[in-house]
Amino acid sequence: MVELNGKVAFVTGGAQGIGKAIVKRLSNDGFTVAVADLNITTADEVAKEINDAGGKAIGIKVDVADRDDFFRAVGEAAETLGGFDVLVNNAGLGPTTPIDTITPEQFDKVYHVNVAGDIWGIQAAHEQFKKNGGKGGKIINATSQAGVVGNPNLALYSGTKFAVRGITQVVARDLAEENITVNAYAPGIVKTPMMFDIAHQVGQNAGKDDDWGMQTFAKDIALKRLSEPEDVAAAVSFLAGPDSDYITGQTIEVDGGMQFH
């Protein structure tokens, strides 16, 4: 049985990959969790897993690119779960985009999910935090090691993730007086369907196989292993918990030593 800590976390893209690992870790930490995802069926399945294991979770459908829908989802979570303490802006798209192939439609879609989605989430979370009687809260955004240094074939994705780091720093300054911390986590090469798809596309573009595509990203990992989703979830756990209360505006790189700063 999980011992609940009385706090509520809302995780976007929580039904698969890194998001699912974050949801499970925060549940183990004692958070009541809103598993927010565009795929409500999978979100409900993840929530059921948590509830069956003695935690407390609900699935919530959300389109992060739609501001009104994000506000609705956050309001629904706060009302149903009795509070709102942590937002994890985890949802994102990572298409492979050789520079000459980018279309206006693709640009709009990726920037609306990866950048606008984070802004709508921050606004919706801030609305809830203001109802908390000055207790503050935590906002945690997903950037990427591709948002720290440009990665090949990822002009759209890298661009959005650089933007997330900038937004994180600005909002950290803007909300600090309200006892709201805003930080980001930058995963490296994580074993998720999205990363395997990127590696496949990069390999195809070069006339090589999937392993070659993966190695173009993985060759510089100091720890010589790909990341598990749980590695990233551990960093988010730190940012969501009390040990990070004096940290704001920062990006924690969880990349096994690809970048040093």
Residue 20 to residue 245: CA distance in whole angstroms = 24
Residue 34 to residue 10: CA distance in whole angstroms = 5
Tokens of 46: 């993840």
Task: Give the tens place of pLDDT for each residue, 66-106.
Answer: 999 999 999 999 999 999 999 999 999 999 999 999 999 99
Q: Is residue 246 part of a domain?
A: yes
Q: State the pLDDT confidence band at 200, using cuts at 50, 70 and 90.
A: confident
> How many structural domains compose the chain?
1
The CATH number covering residue 95 comes to 3.40.50.720
Question: 33 a known binding residue?
Answer: no
Cβ neighbors of 146 (< 8 A, separation 6 or more) are: 154, 157, 158, 161
| Residue % of the chain over a pLDDT of 90 | 82
Residue 91 to residue 234: CA distance in whole angstroms = 17
Q: Is residue 152 part of a domain?
A: yes
Residue 241 has pLDDT above 90, yes or no: yes
Which of 103-112, 185-194, 222-231 reaches the highest mean pLDDT? 103-112
Residue 224: predicted pLDDT: 86
Q: Is residue 196 part of a domain?
A: no
Q: Which of 7-11, 144-148, 204-208 has the lowest mean pLDDT?
A: 204-208
Residue 250: predicted pLDDT: 98
Question: 16 a known binding residue?
Answer: yes
Given a contact cutoff of 8 angstroms between Cβ atoms, the answer to whether 74 and 124 are in contact is yes
Tokens of 15: 């039904």
Residue 198: predicted pLDDT: 81
Amino acid at 200: H
Q: Is residue 62 part of a domain?
A: yes
Residue 134 has pLDDT above 90, yes or no: no
Q: Is residue 212 part of a domain?
A: no
- Best CA proximity match to 121, nearest among 75, 83, 156: 75
Residue 62: predicted pLDDT: 98
From the number of C-beta atoms within 10 Å of its C-beta (0-12, 13-18, 19+), residue 213 rates as buried
Does pTM top 0.85 for this prediction? yes
Question: 130 a known binding residue?
Answer: no
Q: Is residue 218 part of a domain?
A: no
Question: 215 a known binding residue?
Answer: no
3-class SS of residue 37: strand
Question: 118 a known binding residue?
Answer: no
User: Which residues carry out catalysis?
Assistant: 157
Q: Is residue 247 part of a domain?
A: yes
Question: 191 a known binding residue?
Answer: yes
Residue 43 to residue 11: CA distance in whole angstroms = 10
Question: 98 a known binding residue?
Answer: no
Given a contact cutoff of 8 angstroms between Cβ atoms, the answer to whether 114 and 92 are in contact is yes
Residue 239 to residue 26: CA distance in whole angstroms = 11
Domain containing residue 123? 8-191+228-254
| DSSP H helices in 181-258 | 193-205, 210-218, 229-240
Q: What is the mean pLDDT of the chain?
A: 95
Mean pLDDT of 184-213: 87
Question: 251 a known binding residue?
Answer: no
**Which strand (E) or helix (H) includes residue 36?**
strand 32-37
Q: Is residue 223 part of a domain?
A: no
Residue 218: predicted pLDDT: 78
